[in-house]
């Protein structure tokens, strides 16, 4: 996958091997962060990266693992070059391993050029502010946590919750209203997920007929753990090429970031670094940012990178360092709820902790509809109140509630049953907002405090034209 | 001749060089072939430890390291306003230019060099001193129109005194001398080391507020000009929206906004919005009073550490001209994490949560650079008000950065996850937040005599509501006395109709002080009128459905010039309707 430089030097001076790391002695002129080739005693080639150079010593992480390496005969080749990916339009429709080698048995891809996978920081002054509404067909997202082109939005899931299905559904249905070329190119990066999950995505992509506009990078659960640190970088490099060089709108799906963070912790532990919260390294925020911040748009360039990041919250704990640090970097989050899942609500999105920070830029009269912001605020206010009352009713019983309270309670149930729960239906934004007005129908004008009277006058009484559920 | 050393170790943003015997702590060095910018942070025998402000990938052991023999400095002069810099004051828009295209190079490459302030641009220098005048540090030598409405004052740099021997008025670039003090030529631009506080005559007591136009802030938790605020909040609680609202509406002359380890798109939002928004004080674009320091989360971590000092020094420079500067840092947690990361690479003994033991003293140095001062060289007063956002892990306020900041800042706006989830914005929690500035007298004198008394009433009622809430959680609403039920009604009005404020609504985003006063007065009047009729035996349930409540909820839509008229009309209606029940 790489174009190697000519100045390759080979060393056979391994001092010791520990965990995923290899310590090389007596080297000179090593470049920090350069990519290396490790030749095992059996002659197998493995790729690695320099993590630290200290005088004559270099610390190398070996992506494919250190099993089978020895001190005496293992050789390391240094070429002074950063890790690169051969990029080209031939990547579309193909499947690669976590380091970017084709694994689908097809012909070699013909790279147009070789890009550094580490990526560079985008100049904030060159960024275009993302503001194009993406219709995902999911009411809880389109109506209340709107996604825009160039946004990075994670799905905070739990083990056993249908995050994969939701992201596949979004990938299949996502469209930009009014855009001529509606389709996204999808770059899919599997990070330590199982064969079952990976084949679910592959089948879904094949069934939706979009294989030809998909690039897949697979590092599965039984693939080398440390390679997982490379996989998202490789995938994002492919995405940057397709977006900013070729002008495509790219949707990148990274799943599951929890596995990535665990690989990061493994390397950090092997280096005997001072651990941060729950043993994750103190630089995990910066490391995650170096991936997530590669989403976006560039001024005067076509194309965009939208990231949909799936992560499983260990024990459904949103304060765990992985979702916590992610939430501080991404532009909002979609949170799945085990309780809603048990109730059979699909997708089980808990809208209260969910958020889209770029929503305001993507909605309104010229983008979705002029009542969008106000209706969304009103739904939130009533639903939050209803949820509070559920707790209260569990203690004091429904009899103690006032008439207004009972209405709020009924609203929360109605909202979950009809608005959030939509099965496989693909709803337009019009349908979503009309459905919202239908839910607000029983409530008096004076109680719709978040909606201006003029908006009420213009939209009151709307109902979705078609049946909203499948 | 500058000293040249050799690179021996590279690990992330920290590198080690040998052979720099004359290097001093905090000297600026140039590392490797591409001359990356670095700063000496430790001396250990013949080893010099350097934090590098650029990506260190590709650095090779054995490369050259050059000592510049000066500390990290910023350039101060006309041309700062409206500009976007990175953490070490490189202007970002010119870095993106390539092949004549404004955004031909959208990525930041290593070793890019560019002066902070443009050298080719000329400014019209208007002297205010005459030959023979005796001047000293801080004396205003002349003025420059930096933007259409902003008068930049050219000051004698600290350390220079004497009498004016020559003046060159008119067009000049920033590095051409315009005034000679004795033999010393003084240009419009001066330099200052970022880690050093700029001098002033003395500090002044904080006794006037910084008006923000936000009800929960101005009415409940106001901040003094020259004060310090800390805003902790978990993700999604609105720290950034809060800082941006301050940047838009606060009554300051200059805004320095530091995006420190945060999202790239947030700065883009500021860059897109601010040139289009009008500064209500000057009528010019809001961008004309704003300086952005952008060191996003994926930019080099050491420059994140420096960005805070770069911004602070610029803010102090405008303070010294006699202006009110507002410095917004989003977020100080990311800055603290940068300290932690560098400290970890130095293998220092960690303190709490892995942060270095010197974290509290560094935070103190930062917050204590806030203040109102009497400026050097004349009868001017200036101020730097500091706002530091804090991003506590897991929204847990017991973590070190929140705790230390809380101790240092005079105002604490606690952003609450629960409020944010129900979309109550600004999510400033009324019982967990506090202000230590005693500004009641100012408001009583400048807005209304009973301002402070009314404020206390609101705080007490909210407190009472919270207590009753816990009773209801246990035993249901039935156990409450009728007047206690009214507390809920009033609490709800306060929370929903007064404290909530939409940052995105054209009218509501900025609420003038007299409107804040009237809105609160009406709510109190409604509560007290209702209390009278309830005490006379009316069922409080019947009051809950009054149509006048909807009018109270819409007070926020009142145009500022009709506030008095509308308030009088609503007052009458409230009394009529309530008493009719």
Q: Give the pLDDT confidence of B529-557 residue by residue, as tens digits.
A: 999 999 998 888 888 888 899 899 999 99
When pLDDT is cut at 50, 70 and 90, the band that residue A470 belongs to is: very low
Provide mean pLDDT across the span A339-353: 96
Residue B47, Cβ density class (10 Å: 0-12 exposed, 13-18 middle, ≥19 buried): middle
pLDDT over 90 (residue B399) = yes
- Look at B421 and A299 and tell me if their CB atoms are within 8 Å: no
Range name among A50-64, A390-404, B57-71 with the lowest pLDDT average: A390-404
Instruction: Provide the shortest C-alpha distance from residue B111 to chain A (in Å).
Output: 13
Shortest Cα distance, chain A CAs vs residue B382, angstroms: 30
By C-alpha distance, the chain A residue nearest B110 is A120
Q: In the prediction, which pLDDT does B1 show?
A: 66
Angstroms from A351 CA to nearest CA on chain B? 9
Q: Which of B114, B264, B503 best tests the A interface by mutation, with the highest count of A CBs <10 A? A: B264
CA distance A299 to chain B (A): 7
Q: State the best of B31, B298, B540 to mutate against chain A, taking most chain A CBs within 10 Å.
A: B298
Question: Best of A9, A80, A123 to disrupt the B interface by mutation (most B CBs within 10 Å)?
Answer: A123
Whether A282 and B354 lie within 8 Å, measured CB to CB: yes
The per-residue b/e assignment along B554-567, b for 16 or more CB within 10 angstroms, e otherwise, is ebbebeeeebeebb
Which comes out higher in pLDDT, residue B113 or A309? A309
Cβ neighbours of residue B554 closer than 8 Å, sequence gap 6 or more: none
Q: How many percent of chain B have pLDDT more than 90?
A: 80
CATH pick for A85-362 out of 3.60.15.10, 2.60.120.10, 3.90.1150.10, 3.40.50.12240: 3.40.50.12240
Tell me if B299 and A121 make a contact (CB, 8 A cut-off). Answer: yes
A31 → closest Cβ in B59, B106, B475: B59
Q: How far is A131 from chain B (nearest CA, A)?
A: 10
Percent of chain A whose predicted confidence (pLDDT) is above 90 = 74
pLDDT band, residue A178 (cuts 50/70/90): low
Selected residue of A116, A126, A298, A394 to mutate for chain B interface (largest B Cβ count, 10 A): A126
Domains and CATH numbers, chain B: 4-71 (2.40.30.20), 118-188 (2.40.50.100), 202-435 (3.40.50.300), 451-580 (1.10.1140.10)
Confidence of residue B479 (pLDDT cuts 50, 70, 90): confident
User: In a 10 Å sphere around its CB, with 0-12 CB exposed, 13-18 middle and 19+ buried, how is residue B184 labelled?
Assistant: middle
Which residues of chain A are within 8 Å of residue B294 when distances are taken between CB atoms?
124-125
* CATH number of the domain located at residue range(s) A9-82 in this protein: 2.40.30.20
Structure tokens at B307: 């960005």
Could you give the CA distance from residue A226 to residue A62 in angstroms, rounded to a whole number?
A: 7
Q: What is the pLDDT of residue B70?
A: 93
Confidence of residue A179 (pLDDT cuts 50, 70, 90): low
Contact (CB, 8 A) for B377 and B156: yes
Contact A282 B337 (CB under 8 A): yes
Identify the band that residue B506 occupies on the pLDDT scale cut at 50, 70 and 90.
Answer: confident
Q: How far apart are CA A49 and CA A34, in angstroms?
A: 6
Question: Are domains A9-82 and A85-362 of this chain identical in fold?
Answer: no
Q: Which residues of B touch A298 (CB under 8 A)?
A: 103, 106
Nearest CA in chain B to A359: B504
Q: Which residues of B touch A327 (CB under 8 A)?
A: 234-236
Using omega within 30 degrees of 0 as the cis cutoff, is the peptide bond preceding B331 cis?
Answer: yes
B194-232 pLDDT, tens digit per residue, is 999 999 999 999 899 999 999 999 999 999 999 999 999
Tell me the DSSP string of A182-249.
Answer: -PPEEEEEEEEE-HHHHHHHHHHHHHTT-GGGEEEEEEETTS-TGGGGTHHHHHHHHHHIIIIIT--E
Residues in chain B within 8 Å Cβ distance of A325? 393
Check residue A5 and give its pLDDT: 47
Chain A residues with CB under 8 Å of B499 CB are: none
DSSP string, A326-353: HHHHSSEEEEE-HHHHHTT-SS-EEEEE
- pLDDT category of residue A3 using cuts at 50, 70 and 90: very low
The shortest CB-CB distance from B263 to any of A53, A244, A331 is to A331
CB contact under 8 A, A30 and B60: yes
CA distance B437 to chain A (A): 31
Contact across the interface for A274 and B350, Cβ inside 8 Å: yes
Region of B350 on the Ramachandran plot (φ > 0 left; ψ -120 to 50 alpha; else beta): beta
Contacts of B341 in chain A (CB under 8 A): 282-283, 286
Contacts of A360 in chain B (CB under 8 A): 504
User: Residue A125 and residue B8: Cβ atoms within 8 Å?
Assistant: no
> B51, B94, B263, B269: which to substitute to probe chain A, counting the most A Cβ within 10 Å?
B263
Q: Looking at CA atoms only, how far is residue A372 from chain B in angstroms?
A: 13
Query: What is the chain B residue with the closest CA to A381?
Result: B422
Taking the CA of residue B124 and the nearest CA in chain A, the distance in Å comes to 28
The reported pLDDT for the residue numbered A183 is 67
Phi-psi sector, A65: left (phi>0), alpha (psi -120 to 50), beta:
left
Q: Would the pLDDT of B233 be above 60? A: yes
Rounded mean pLDDT, A15-30 = 91
- Separation CA A306–CA A149 (nearest Å): 6
Instruction: Give strand pairing partners of A11.
Output: A76
Query: Which pLDDT score, from 0 to 100, does residue A1 have?
Result: 41
Please give the structure tokens belonging to residue A244. Answer: 């900013």
Residues contacting residue B453 through CB under 8 Å, at least 6 positions apart: none
The average pLDDT across B62-66 equals: 94
- In the predicted model, what is the mean pLDDT of chain A? 91
CA-based Rg of chain A, rounded to a whole angstrom? 25
- 3-state helix, strand, coil split of chain B in percent (to 5) is 35, 25, 40
Number of CB pairs, chain A paired with chain B, less than 8 A apart: 222
CB contact (8 A) between residue A32 and residue B235: no
Q: pLDDT for A200-257, tens place per residue? A: 998 988 888 888 899 999 999 999 989 999 999 999 999 999 999 999 999 999 999 9
Contact between A123 and B57 using a beta-carbon 8 Å cutoff: no
Q: Which residue of B has its CA nearest to A144?
A: B423
Q: Which pLDDT tens digit goes with each residue over A283-324?
A: 999 999 999 999 999 999 989 999 999 999 999 999 999 999
* Smallest Cα distance from B114 to chain A, Å: 14
CA of A220 vs chain B CAs: smallest distance (Å): 27
Instruction: Provide the pLDDT for residue B353.
Output: 85
Residue B69: count of CB within 10 angstroms of its CB: 14
Is B339 in contact with B258 (CB distance < 8 Å)? no
pLDDT of residue A4: 47
Share of chain A above pLDDT 70, in %: 96
- Across the interface, of A293, A384, A404, the residue whose CB is closest to B422 is A384
Q: Quote the minimal CA–CA distance from B476 to chain A in Å.
A: 6
The rounded distance, in Å, linking the Cα atoms of A117 and A305 is 16
Q: Do A55 and B8 touch (CB under 8 A)?
A: yes
* ipTM of the predicted assembly exceeds 0.85: yes
Band (pLDDT 50/70/90 cuts) for residue A467 is low
Pick from A120, A319, A402: which is nearest to B395 by CB? A319
Where do the structural domains in chain A lie, given as residue ranges?
9-82, 85-362, 372-459
Query: Would you call B95 and A121 a contact, using CB atoms and an 8 Å cutoff?
Result: no
Contact A397 B84 (CB under 8 A): no
Whether residue B505 has pLDDT greater than 90: no
């Amino acid at each position: 996958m790489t174009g190697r430089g000519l100045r390759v030097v080979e060393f056979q001076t391994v001092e010791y091997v520990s965990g995923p790391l290899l310590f090389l002695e007596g080297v000179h002129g090593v470049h920090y962060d350069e990519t290396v080739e490790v030749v095992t005693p059996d002659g197998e080639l493995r790729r690695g990266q320099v993590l630290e150079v200290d005088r004559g010593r270099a610390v190398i992480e070996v992506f494919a693992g250190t099993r089978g390496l020895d001190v005496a005969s293992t050789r390391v080749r240094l070429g002074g070059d950063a890790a690169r990916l051969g990029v080209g339009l031939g990547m579309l429709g193909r499947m690669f391993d976590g380091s970017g080698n084709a694994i689908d048995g097809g012909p070699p891809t013909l790279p147009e050029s070789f890009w550094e996978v580490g990526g560079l920081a985008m100049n904030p002054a060159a960024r275009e502010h993302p503001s194009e509404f993406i219709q995902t067909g999911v009411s809880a997202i389109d109506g209340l946590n709107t996604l825009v082109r160039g946004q990075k939005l994670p799905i905070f899931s739990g083990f056993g919750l249908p995050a994969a299905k939701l992201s596949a559904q979004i990938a299949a249905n996502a469209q930009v209203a009014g855009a001529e070329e509606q389709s996204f190119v999808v770059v899919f990066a599997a990070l330590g997920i199982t064969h079952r999950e990976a084949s679910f995505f592959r089948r879904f992509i094949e069934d939706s007929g979009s294989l030809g506009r998909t690039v897949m990078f697979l590092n599965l659960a039984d693939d080398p753990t440390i390679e997982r640190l490379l996989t998202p970088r490789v995938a994002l490099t492919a995405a940057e090429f397709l977006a900013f060089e070729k002008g495509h709108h790219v949707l990148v799906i990274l799943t599951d970031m929890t596995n990535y963070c665990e690989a990061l912790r493994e390397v950090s532990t092997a280096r005997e670094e001072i651990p941060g919260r729950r043993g994750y390294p103190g630089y995990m925020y910066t490391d995650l940012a170096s991936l997530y911040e590669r989403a976006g748009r560039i001024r005067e360039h076509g194309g965009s990178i939208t990231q949909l990041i799936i992560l499983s919250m260990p024990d459904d704990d949103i304060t765990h360092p992985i979702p916590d640090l992610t939430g501080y970097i991404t532009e909002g989050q979609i949170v799945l709820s085990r309780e809603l899942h048990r109730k059979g609500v699909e997708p089980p999105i808990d809208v209260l902790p969910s958020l889209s920070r770029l929503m305001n830029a993507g909605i309104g009269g010229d983008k979705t509809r002029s009542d969008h912001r106000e209706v969304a605020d009103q739904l939130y206010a009533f639903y939050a109140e209803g949820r509070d009352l559920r707790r209260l009713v569990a203690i004091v019983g429904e009899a103690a509630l006032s008439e207004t309270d009972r209405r709020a309670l009924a609203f929360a149930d109605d909202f979950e049953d009809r608005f959030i729960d939509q099965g496989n239906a693909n709803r337009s934004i019009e349908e979503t907002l009309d459905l919202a007005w239908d839910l607000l129908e029983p409530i008096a004008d004076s109680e719709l405090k978040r909606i201006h009277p003029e908006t009420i006058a213009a939209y009151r009484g709307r109902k979705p034209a078609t049946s909203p559920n499948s | 001749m500058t000293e040249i050393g050799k690179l021996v170790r590279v690990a992330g943003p920290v590198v080690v060089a040998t052979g720099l015997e004359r290097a001093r702590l905090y000297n600026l060095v140039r590392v490797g072939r591409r001359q990356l910018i670095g700063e000496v942070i430790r001396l250990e025998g013949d080893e010099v430890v350097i934090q590098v402000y650029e990506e260190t990938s590709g650095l090779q052991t054995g490369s050259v390291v050059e000592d510049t023999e000066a500390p990290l400095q910023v350039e101060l002069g006309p041309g700062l306003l409206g500009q976007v810099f990175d953490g070490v004051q490189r202007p970002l828009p010119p870095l993106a230019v390539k092949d004549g295209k404004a955004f031909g190079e959208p990525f930041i490459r290593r070793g890019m060099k560019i002066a902070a302030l443009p050298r080719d641009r000329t400014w019209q220098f208007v002297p205010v001193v005459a030959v023979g005048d005796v001047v000293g540090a801080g004396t205003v030598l002349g003025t420059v129109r930096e933007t259409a409405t902003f008068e930049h004052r050219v000051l004698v740099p600290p350390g220079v005194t004497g009498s004016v021997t020559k003046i060159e008025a008119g067009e000049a670039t920033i590095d051409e001398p315009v005034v000679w003090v004795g033999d010393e030529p003084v240009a419009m631009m001066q330099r200052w080391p970022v880690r050093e506080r700029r001098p002033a005559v003395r500090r002044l007591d904080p006794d006037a507020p910084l008006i923000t136009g936000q009800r929960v802030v101005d009415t409940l938790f106001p901040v003094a000009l020259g004060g310090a605020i800390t805003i902790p909040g978990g993700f999604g609680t609105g720290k950034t929206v809060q800082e941006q609202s301050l940047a838009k509406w606060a009554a300051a002359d200059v805004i320095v906004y530091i995006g420190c380890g945060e999202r790239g798109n947030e700065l883009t939002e500021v860059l897109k919005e601010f040139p289009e928004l009008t500064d209500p004080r000057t009528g010019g674009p809001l961008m004309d009073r704003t300086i952005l320091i952008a060191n996003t989360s994926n930019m080099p971590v050491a420059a994140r550490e420096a960005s805070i000092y770069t911004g602070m020094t610029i803010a102090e420079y405008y303070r010294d001209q006699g202006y009110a500067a507002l410095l917004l840092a989003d977020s100080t947690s990311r800055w603290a994490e940068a300290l932690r990361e560098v400290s970890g690479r130095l293998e220092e003994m960690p303190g709490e949560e892995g942060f270095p033991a010197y974290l509290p003293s560094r935070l103190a140095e930062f917050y204590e650079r806030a203040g109102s001062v009497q400026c050097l060289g004349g009868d001017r007063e200036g101020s730097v008000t500091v706002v530091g956002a804090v991003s506590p892990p897991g929204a847990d306020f017991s973590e070190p950065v929140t705790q230390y900041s809380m101790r240092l800042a005079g105002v604490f706006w606690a952003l609450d996850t629960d409020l944010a989830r129900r979309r109550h914005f600004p999510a400033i929690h009324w019982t967990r937040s506090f202000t230590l500035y005693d500004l009641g007298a100012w408001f009583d004198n400048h807005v209304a005599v009973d301002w402070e008394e009314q404020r206390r009433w609101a705080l007490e009622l909210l407190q009472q509501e919270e207590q009753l809430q816990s009773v209801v959680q246990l035993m249901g609403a039935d156990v409450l006395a009728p007047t206690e039920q009214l507390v809920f009604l009033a609490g709800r009005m306060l929370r929903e109709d007064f404290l909530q404020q939409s940052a995105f609504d054209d009218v509501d985003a900025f609420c003038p002080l007299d409107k804040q006063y009237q809105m609160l007065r009406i709510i109190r009047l409604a509560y007290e009128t209702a209390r009278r009729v309830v005490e006379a035996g009316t069922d409080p349930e019947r009051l809950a459905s009054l149509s006048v409540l909807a009018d109270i909820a819409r007070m926020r839509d009142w145009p500022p010039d009709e506030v008095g008229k509308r308030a009088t009309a609503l007052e009458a209606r409230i009394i009529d309707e309530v008493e009719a029940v």
